Structure 1
Amino acid sequence: MILWIPTIALYLASAILAALEIISLAPLARTHLGKGLIAALCLLLAVSITLTASSAYWAYMGYGPSVAAPALAAAALLLASLWRLRKFLES
């Protein structure tokens, strides 16, 4: 059960980061590049929300470390990719 708490927290952080990036890219929505970036971030936001809900369900159903460990790795990978995208867009 303890592995689910950081997993859900990482997925929520990914969703928040994606939403903040969508808001910050709103001025670029009229360009082709901006539309593509916003579409990709909307997809990542949807994935983050879906995985948060599914992780909460798996934790509720009592799945153990065999499911939680790969989910934790996927959550960390998603958050790292969003963080790297944020750093790329700032430069």
Structure 2
Amino acid sequence: MKRKKSKVNRIVNVAIVAMCCYLAGSCVVLFMDQAALKSKTEAVNQQCEEQKILNDEMQGLIDQGSDKEFIVKMAREKLGLIFPDERVFFNTSGNQ
């Protein structure tokens, strides 16, 4: 009868050691996954901040674009447009 208990104890001990190894391995894998996700989260947060800055710049351009003076300035400079009652003189001598 002593032999049976010894065999059962040995099986239980092996099972406990195997379970401890499995749990330790699982913990290592979870910590690695956590570190990877933390890194990914930081990268996404950085992209979010960059996008917010870009959005603020774009909003500034939109706000500027709704100002009549800015629109007139851009129409004159970029498109060469003038008002109907306006006279434009060009210097053809080459000297400014």
Higher RCO structure, 1 or 2 (CA under 8 Å, sep 6+): 1
The TM-score range, normalised by the shorter chain, is 0.3 to 0.5
**Of the two, which has the highest radius of gyration?**
2
TM-score by length of 1: 0.35
| TM-score (normalised: structure 2) | 0.34
